[in-house]
Amino acid sequence: MIHQTFEPNPDLAPLIKCYWTLEIPKEDAPTKNTIVPDGCMKMIFHYRDPYNHYDEKDTSIELPKSFVIGQLTRPYIVEPTGETGTFFVCFHPNGFLPFATFPIKEMENTAVPLEKLFRKDGHVLQDAILNASSTKERIEIIEDFLSKRLRNTKTVDNIVKSTIETILTGNGQLSVTELSQQNQVNRRQLVRKFSSDIGLSPKQLSKTIRLQATLKMLLTKDVKSLTDLAYENEYFDQAHFIREFKEFTGLTPKEFYGDNLKMSLIFDSAK
């Protein structure tokens, strides 16, 4: 498996977190992967074999060769059909708004083909990316496409920007009431702005960021017990932690990592 991450052009950095690529030979491909919600929408191009997605009824659906995946509120199960060659554009939580052609909320848990989003331009972009000979060329193509579309942009609300920063800084541990007070905005107004600009409520984004912080802790620290992990990340108790973990991964922590908290299943966006 080859996984590489690339920084965006500084002009696009406020909107794009990073680009990354994933290449896996067919013989090494896992049977299934779980995409865990991380609060970031992604534009995805499969320049080799396509992937299948398994819905909540475990029905297999072939994904488009290129699409934008909306905000995830539950685990998203995918499976390679052969050799993996994938190019990702990972947006910040509020980063896709300037490029959206219909309400972001309608894209929740959905892979939206580029042609549906951008019509003919989406088809042209797909062909260019899939036929590119290198990651460098793919980055040049996507940055040219996105930069041109920024000329007529929808701006992200400053209150939303500020609140997202507060959520990220606090690892998702503040309540919606605390967030609204810190950013001096009415709670209902804040929820409405979040739904419009990023497709999640402040509570949903906070839960997602807290879980991601917990996953990072599992990967980087010597965690002795789930109780300690729940306490460090300010879950009410271990049961609360396990419930939210299962909500976003489909598994309990021990099922996800194994008895020794070893990572056994993750389809990871660039961190």
Find all residues with CB under 8 Å of 36, minimum gap 6, and list them: 72, 75, 211, 212, 215, 248, 249, 266, 267, 268
Is the Cβ–Cβ distance between 229 and 217 less than 8 Å?
A: yes
Going from N- to C-terminal start, the domains of the chain cover: 2-152, 158-257
Residue 118 has pLDDT above 70, yes or no: yes
| Alpha-helical segments (H) within 5-134 | 114-118, 120-131
Dihedral sign, CA of 123, 128, 129, 131? positive
Q: In the structure encoding, which two tokens stand for residue 51, read together?
A: 């992937």
Check residues 133 and 249 and name the one with the higher pLDDT: 133
State the Cα–Cα distance between residues 119 and 133, nearest whole angstrom.
Answer: 24
State the Cα–Cα distance between residues 112 and 194, nearest whole angstrom.
Answer: 20
> In CATH terms, is domain 2-152 a member of 3.90.660.10?
no
The pLDDT value recorded for residue 261 is: 41
**Beta pairing, strands 33-35 & 111-113:** unpaired
219-247 residue pLDDT tens: 776 767 778 888 888 888 888 899 999 99
> In CATH terms, is domain 158-257 a member of 1.10.10.60?
yes
Edge-first strand order for the sheet with 76-80 is 33-35, 76-80, 51-54, 60-62
State the Cα–Cα distance between residues 247 and 184, nearest whole angstrom.
Answer: 30
Residue 51 has pLDDT above 70, yes or no: yes
